[in-house]
Structures are given as C-alpha cells and as structure tokens.
Chain A
Amino acid sequence: MKKDVAVPALGFLGMVRWAWTQLTSMRTALFLLLLLAVAAVPGSLFPQRSVNPEQVTTYLTNKPTAGEWLDRFQLFDVYSSVWFSAIYLLLFISLIGCILPRVKKHAKALRTPPPRTPSRLNRLPQNGTIQIQSASESGLSDGQIVEQAAKLLKKRGYRSEARLEGTSPSVGAERGYVREIGNLLFHISLVGLLASVGIGGAFGYNGQRVLVEGETFVNSLVSYDSFKPGTMFKEDSLDPYSVKLDKFNITFDRESTTHFGQPIDFTAEVETRRSPDAEPQKETIRVNHPLRIDGADMYLVGNGYAPVVTVKDGDGNVAFSGPVTAVPQDGMYTSLMVIKAPDAKPDQLGFQGFLLPTAVTDETGFAVSGDPNAINPQLQLNSYYGNLGLDDGQPQNVYVLETDELKELNNRSLDAGGIVLGAGQTYELPDGKGSISFDGLKRFIGVDIAYDPSKRPVGIFAALALLGLAISLFTARRRAWVKVKTSVDGSGHEERIIEYGLLARGEDHGLESEAKELRKLLEQQWPAVERAGV
C-alpha cells in the first residue's frame, strides 16, 4: 500500500501515471464502490423518468421550484445522470486497471513453480515436525521421502516440486490457483455485463400498445401507442409479425370470503403470424408467460374494459364509433373513460365519466361497481361541446379531456343531469347536439413489446460472475512445504525428522484443519517414532 504524499513536480506524463496509480488503488476502488451505493439511493426517493415519467411531471407541477432544482441536478434521471455515470465509469476503469496487471501476474504464476522453501518453517502460521525412522532403519533416503511427499501433496491438489539439491531436500507446493482465476472471472464478467448492457441496449427498443378484443397489432412503428428506441435502433429491425387479440379471460376468486373478487388468472388468447404470409398460430399471453417471438417479446401488463359506443352529431351523422379504452381505478374495475368526437358538427363533442361493470347503488345513493365482472354494465358520463383543442396540432393525452374551452351539456349539477346508459341504450343530448349509445362491452389488454439483444450476453456474464464469485470465496490458496532433515547426535545416532509448514494466501479459515490433515497423511506414510528423552 503506497503512502500518498504531497504532489511533487511530475510533469504531464508523471501526473497521468500518478492519477492512474491513484485510480487503480484498492482504496479508491472501495471509495467509488461505496459512493455508487450512496448515489443509487436518490433514484428510489424521487420519481424517475425512466421508470414513471408521469410521476415526474406531477412532481414538477406540484413543486415547481424544488422540482426545477432537482431536475437541474438530474435527480429525476439518476441512473443516466452525469454524476452517476461518472462514478460507475471511474469504478470500471479502476477495475480494469486492477484486473489487467493481476491477469498478467497470475498468468505468470501459473507458469512458475511453487515458491522456494523458506529456511525456517516453524515461522509459518501452521507448522509441525514428525520424527521418523532414519535412512538406515527404513531404507528410504531423504530424497526418496521428499519425492513421495511431493506425490502425496500432488494427490491432494497441490502443484508440487521436489527439491533434492542442498543439505536438506524439500518439497514446495501450492494449491488453489483457481481462487484467483475465479476472482478475475468475476470481475471480468462484471465488465462484460456492463458492456453488454450498454451495447445491447442501444440496438433494442420497447413500446406499449393497448389492444381491444378483435384488434390486430402489426409490428411497425405506427402500431405503437408509445415507443422508445435505443440510440442505434433502425426501423427495419422491426420483425413484421402480427398479433390479434381473440379473447381476454380473467378468473376471479369466487370462493374466498376475505379475498372475494381478487384476480387469480389473466389469459389473453391471441392469433399470431410470424410474418405476413405465415400460417396463423393460436397462442396465449399470461402474466409471467410472455409471448416469445424471436426478436421482440410481448408482455401482458394491464387490462380493462373497452365499452363500444357510437356518438352521432347534431347533423345526425356518426361522429365516433368504436371501443373506448376505460382505465380501471380499483379492484371492482370502476373505470375512467374519455370520448372525444372532433368530427362532430356543428360542435365538437366530448364525454368523460365512469364505466361501472356491475352498477349497484350504495347506501349513500351513489352508483358504484359491485363486481369486477360485467354483470350490469353502466356508463355514467358528463358531456361537453365546443373546441376540443385538437385542431392546433398539439399532442394530447387521449385519457384526459381538456375542458377549458368546452361548455358543459350534461352534469349532475345541471338541469339536464348526467348521462346514465345501460347496455344497448341510447341517450339524446340536450339542445339537439346529438346522441350517444352504449352498444356493447369488450375487454382490452395493455402489452409491452420489448426487444433487447443484451439479454443473452448479460445472462451469460451474470452466470459467469456468480461462478467466479463462488470459486473465489470458497476455495483457498495455500502454500505448503515439507522438509526432511537428518542429524547425527553426539553418540553417532541418526535422527530424522519431517518438518512441514503451511501458509495461506488471502482469507483461509481452513488452514488449521488442512495442517491437521496433512500431518495425518504424512504420519500414515511414515509413522512417527517415539524416542526417549526427546
């Protein structure tokens, strides 16, 4: 660990080298890692454009001053912000700067024999001696014992080398090279993972679409309600498949008293064609079971009712006809709906209100929905006429009626009252402005269509990272040495001992038991001899 001192005059290259050393130091990496954790937190405290853009708009409307400042610091785009990107890019540069020399070093270590035998094994954290029969007693030379010990260590997974030169022959051994390989694999996989996310994401796209029963989605840009392309997206990369929603089924819990009416299954029955001239196939889309189409999968993310209505204008012409997507507001599918009829003449017409799938009157006299299934469907609407504000080309939210320049026709507070329509019924608007009829009820589904070529490489790198992590944490790198020493005492008697020592490299709680195991193996091979007075 280098001590940081005041910056001396280094020159440009020196400064670069100094900065590189600083950046790739463990301390900096650790600091950046912890900074990354802290930097990720604001993304959970403030609404994020990438997750929920509407919430950001609402926040900016409600708290304009604070919102503006937060926006200036990119707190609504934390994960694509300059500061968050700076942290993780620096971290990954630091990581690469750490990995490269380690790869080089380990590649060298893999080709190098185990380190030389220390002169004093009793200084190692785990060590011991065993007195064994001398050469004259057992007929084995010191060299032979060392060679056998080398084999024994090799069997135990060590890379071993018998060293027969010198006065006391020894074995040098090391095992657990795979620990560093695992460590490097983990870190390299993380770099690969990040690169895959960045590159793959650029070529992908995702979009949303509401599909009413009977409608067909054709995978082309005009078919999407909203569409988010990656930076490298090209329109011709859309696979020309089509999906027709035949029927949408919901199963509700009808047995439970406590969870009555809770949905327990959503299944969309669809007819798909992989290309315009392909044979149609019957398939289903369910939550957690997307429609897997090579290139762009379709996910079921929402559903609701789409009442079919017909609006006639003051001249008696049909100004609007078709299903209207009603957005569910609660578990009983009380749904908000907006109808805009810009073609109506002489005045444009607009409607907003609720669909109640099963209209019942509650104890206060209000109509509410009593069941999520359409047992007694009813529309409760207010109507407006005038300028819908669609003619100036400004895009509008189809689920919101801009009532600023509209005059009310029907409302509970007006003499004409609100519009209440049962299935099959028609209502004549006041002042001859036209009519509205409730012709039927369909269901719709909201689907996400997503294409992300990074999925496969990210999955592979993640799996490799997990493997590398487990290897690096659960294998131990150890060095072991065994020495054989023969000494002659004053009476000319030969004493022979085996000396062994173990050293851990990195965290290793198993070194002690490894030392015991090694001793056991050595004693099995060359039983210890007891000598009086030793």
Chain B
Amino acid sequence: MENNIPTINVALGQYSDLFMLLAAIVYASAFVAFAWDLAKSSKLIQEIDAATIATEKKVLVAAGAADAPPAASTENALVNDSMDYTVASAKRMAAKIAVSLTWLGVLLQGFAVVARGVAAARVPWGNMYEFLSTGSFLVALVFSLVLLKKDLRFMGTFVLGLVTVMLCGATMGFPTPVAHLVPALQSYWLIIHVSIAVLAASLFTITFAMNVLQLLQHARMDSLAAGKPDKFPFMRLVPGAAPLENFAYRINAVAFVMWTFTVMAGAIWAEAAWGRYWGWDTKEVWSFVIWVVYAGYLHARATGGWTGARSAWLSIIGYLCIVFNFTIVNIYFNGLHSYAGL
C-alpha cells in the first residue's frame, strides 16, 4: 500500500449488503424446502414401497422363479450407498425446489461477496463479518457443487440451516461497513492462509454432518435389528452408516491436508509479522488442537477397535473445536489474532 490508497466504493458496498440479505432470505427458503422434503419423505417412502412390492410381485409371476433378481427394490431406493442419483430420487419435488433455491442463493451471495471485494479493492475476508459471509458462501458453493455429482440432499437441512445462521450472524451480529485492511492484515498470506482455512472448514462442516448422520443411522439400525419400530423414517433418505463413514473419510482426508497447509501457511505469515513461526497464541493453540484431533481421527480409522462410531466421534469433536476456534476464540479470547473487526 505504497501511499496510493485505493478509494472505497461505498455504493457498491451497500449493494453487497443488500444482496447478502437477499441471499439469506433465499437460503432460509431453501432450508424450509429441504425440511419439507424430509417431512413428506415418509409418505413418499410408503408410496415407493407399495410400488416396489407391486413390481416385485409382477416380476415373480412373470419369471416364475424364486431366484428372480430384486432389481426393482434397488432401483427404487431413495438413496443408494454410493450416493448416486437414482430413478426414485428424482421423485423428490421439494428437494428439487430446495436445490434450485440453494443455487439461486449461491448466485446472489456470490455477487455480494465479489462486490464486497471490489468495493474494498482487496480480498473480502478481513474481519468477522467477512469471514462469516465469505465462509457461508463457500459452504453453500461446495455443497452445491458436490450435489452435481452426488445425491447429498439428505444433508440439505443441516447445511442450509448452518449457512442461514452464519449469514444472519454476519449481517446481524457483526455488521461492518467496507473499509481498508489494518496493516497487520496487509499481506498476501491473508489470501492464501485464510482462504484455505475457510475452505478446509467448509469441508469439515460437510463431514461433520455425515458423521452425525452416520451415528444416527447406526443407532437406528441397531434399534431396528432389535425389533423396535422405526422412529426416524426420514433416515431412509440417508445412506447407510458404512458408506457415510467412508465418504466422510475421503473428504476429511482432503480437508486435513488443507488444514495442515493452513497451519503451515499461518506459521510462515506469523514469522513475517511477529518474528516467530510458532508462539502458542490462542489461535495457534486451537489450530494445533484441531490438527491433532483430526490426525487422531485418521489414525483411529487404521486402529483396531476404533473404526466406525469411535472415529466418527473424533471427527465430530474436531468440528466442534473448529466452531469453538472460530467463534469463542475470535470473540472472547485475547490473542494476536484479535483484530477481526470486533
């Protein structure tokens, strides 16, 4: 910033605020639509079950053999273990609406985030408002992109709920007009370190939801096996515990590498800013704790007796540490990272 300070575009900043609000409203509607999809799933399941039984009967009659393949039932499953879209999954109207709304929200918020950056002539993640608004955008974008390939709509309520809360938290909790960066944040490491951190956190968000569902599904299967009635029929929209665990592991592995990079990039930046690459500042402590917990998770998957539910708990604890690090540590703990515009 060699004395030629760019001018802040206040008007564009206000447009950005407006579009953030619009996006929040659209996300809230998408959340409702996803919830509606879950709510009416039991009815849909009954219909599909009835149809499946009918076809199977027909198949049995036509083939006249006992070993006829139960093709119809897998075809009609609402979600399969590889989380690919199935024929039956196309029947979920509410979910389709929810996904369209999510994309609309992503577009609106994408404009808002870019406009914020252009208005300030810098990357739009320099204070708490911007961490939350850009972070929620990334969560929504990553989720939408994954949806193109895999049927993760069963996570929609959770993800959109979280995105809505984050965005409302930003606009109501930490409203901050567009401004220049304080000198401490004027570094290209802000672009590298923070963007990878937020991206890693958004991936961990998705795996957190998967691991919670994995535990729920696990408990539900145990209770069904014990002959108890199905208390959560909507969980039939959710794949089995094992595929959830495996998919979460794949994403966690990617996110862990990103988090490792985040910590290392942070250390390089800390060296340039404060003269030491590691000094156990509160933020550093918690980034370390998160790293160690997820490292423990990866090792647990390779340790006898620790796979399944136990490793899922580690992933969940790791995510709670991330949330803690991002909220409580940013807001209440004194440290070198406390310039987040509070």
Interface contact B304-A51, CB-CB below 8 Å? no
* A contact residues around B280 at 8 Å (CB): 43, 48, 50-51, 78-79
Interface contact A259-B179, CB-CB below 8 Å? yes
Known A43-B285, A473-B256, A507-B249; contact A287-B277, beta-carbon cutoff 8 A: no
* A contact residues around B286 at 8 Å (CB): 44
Considering only CB atoms and an 8 Å cut-off, how many residues of chain B contact the other chain? 61
Interface contact B186-A287, CB-CB below 8 Å? yes
Interface contact B301-A50, CB-CB below 8 Å? no
Of B104-112, B160-168, B227-235, B266-274, the one contacting chain A is B266-274
Please tell me if B242 contacts chain A, counting CB pairs below 8 Å.
no
Please tell me if B184 contacts chain A, counting CB pairs below 8 Å.
yes
Please tell me if B146 contacts chain A, counting CB pairs below 8 Å.
no
Interface contact A27-B186, CB-CB below 8 Å? no
Interface contact A37-B282, CB-CB below 8 Å? no
Measured in the bound complex, the distance between the Cα atoms of B337 and A96 in whole Å is 34
Please tell me if B261 contacts chain A, counting CB pairs below 8 Å.
yes
Interface contact B281-A40, CB-CB below 8 Å? no
* B contact residues around A507 at 8 Å (CB): 249, 253, 301-302
Please tell me if A428 contacts chain B, counting CB pairs below 8 Å.
no
Interface contact A455-B271, CB-CB below 8 Å? yes
CB-based nearest B residue for A25: B303
CB-based nearest B residue for A249: B3
Known A40-B289, A287-B183, A462-B267; contact A26-B299, beta-carbon cutoff 8 A: yes
Choice from B180, B261, B302 contacting A466 with Cβ under 8 Å? B261
A273-286 interface mask toward B, CB cutoff 8 Å, 1 = contact, 0 = none? 00000000000001
Choice from A259, A288, A473 contacting B183 with Cβ under 8 Å? A288
Interface contact B276-A452, CB-CB below 8 Å? yes
Please tell me if B5 contacts chain A, counting CB pairs below 8 Å.
yes
Interface contact B272-A51, CB-CB below 8 Å? no
* A contact residues around B183 at 8 Å (CB): 263-266, 286-288
Measured in the bound complex, the distance between the Cα atoms of B184 and A288 in whole Å is 7
Measured in the bound complex, the distance between the Cα atoms of B289 and A534 in whole Å is 60
* B contact residues around A290 at 8 Å (CB): 272, 275
* A contact residues around B3 at 8 Å (CB): 251, 265
Known A256-B179, A288-B273, A466-B261; contact A37-B296, beta-carbon cutoff 8 A: yes
Interface contact A264-B301, CB-CB below 8 Å? no
* B contact residues around A466 at 8 Å (CB): 257, 260-261, 264
Please tell me if A506 contacts chain B, counting CB pairs below 8 Å.
yes
Please tell me if A181 contacts chain B, counting CB pairs below 8 Å.
no
Min C-beta distance of A177 to chain B, whole Å: 18
* A contact residues around B32 at 8 Å (CB): none
Please tell me if A497 contacts chain B, counting CB pairs below 8 Å.
no
B139-182 interface mask toward A, CB cutoff 8 Å, 1 = contact, 0 = none? 00000000000000000000000000000000000001101111
Choice from B179, B260, B276, B304 contacting A469 with Cβ under 8 Å? B260
Min C-beta distance of A472 to chain B, whole Å: 10
Most B-side CB within 10 Å, residue of A264, A288, A473, A509: A288
Please tell me if A495 contacts chain B, counting CB pairs below 8 Å.
no
Min C-beta distance of A171 to chain B, whole Å: 29
CB-based nearest A residue for B250: A509
Measured in the bound complex, the distance between the Cα atoms of B261 and A473 in whole Å is 14
Choice from A263, A299, A469 contacting B257 with Cβ under 8 Å? A469
Most B-side CB within 10 Å, residue of A78, A259, A466: A259
Measured in the bound complex, the distance between the Cα atoms of B254 and A302 in whole Å is 39
Min C-beta distance of A165 to chain B, whole Å: 36
CB-based nearest A residue for B82: A512
Known A30-B303, A34-B293; contact A258-B273, beta-carbon cutoff 8 A: no
Please tell me if A301 contacts chain B, counting CB pairs below 8 Å.
yes
Most A-side CB within 10 Å, residue of B275, B299, B303, B305: B275
* B contact residues around A36 at 8 Å (CB): 292
* B contact residues around A448 at 8 Å (CB): 274-275
Measured in the bound complex, the distance between the Cα atoms of B120 and A258 in whole Å is 13
* B contact residues around A30 at 8 Å (CB): 296, 299-300, 303, 306
Please tell me if A33 contacts chain B, counting CB pairs below 8 Å.
yes
A247-269 interface mask toward B, CB cutoff 8 Å, 1 = contact, 0 = none? 00001010110110011111000
* A contact residues around B276 at 8 Å (CB): 206, 450, 452
* A contact residues around B177 at 8 Å (CB): 256, 258-259
Q: Which residues of A contact B (CB under 8 A)?
A: 1, 26-27, 29-30, 33-34, 36-37, 40-41, 43-44, 48, 50-51, 78-79, 197, 206, 251, 253, 255-256, 258-259, 262-266, 286-290, 297, 299, 301, 448-450, 452, 455, 458-459, 462-463, 465-466, 469-470, 473-474, 506-507, 509
Q: Which residues of B contact A (CB under 8 A)?
A: 1, 3, 5, 7-8, 176-177, 179-184, 186-187, 189, 246, 249-250, 253-254, 256-257, 260-261, 264, 267-269, 271-282, 285-286, 288-289, 292-293, 295-296, 298-306, 314, 329, 333
Per CB-CB distance, the 7 closest pairs between chain A and chain B, nearest first, are: A450-B275, A37-B292, A259-B179, A287-B183, A299-B275, A44-B285, A288-B187
* 22 A-B pairs in the complex with CB atoms less than 8 angstroms apart: A29-B299, A30-B300, A30-B306, A33-B292, A33-B296, A34-B293, A34-B314, A37-B292, A37-B296, A40-B288, A51-B280, A51-B281, A255-B8, A262-B180, A262-B182, A264-B180, A265-B186, A288-B183, A288-B186, A299-B273, A299-B274, A507-B249
| Known A265-B3, A455-B271, A507-B253; further 15 A-B contacts with Cβ < 8 A | A30-B296, A33-B292, A37-B289, A79-B280, A255-B8, A256-B180, A263-B183, A264-B181, A265-B1, A287-B186, A290-B272, A452-B276, A459-B268, A473-B256, A473-B298
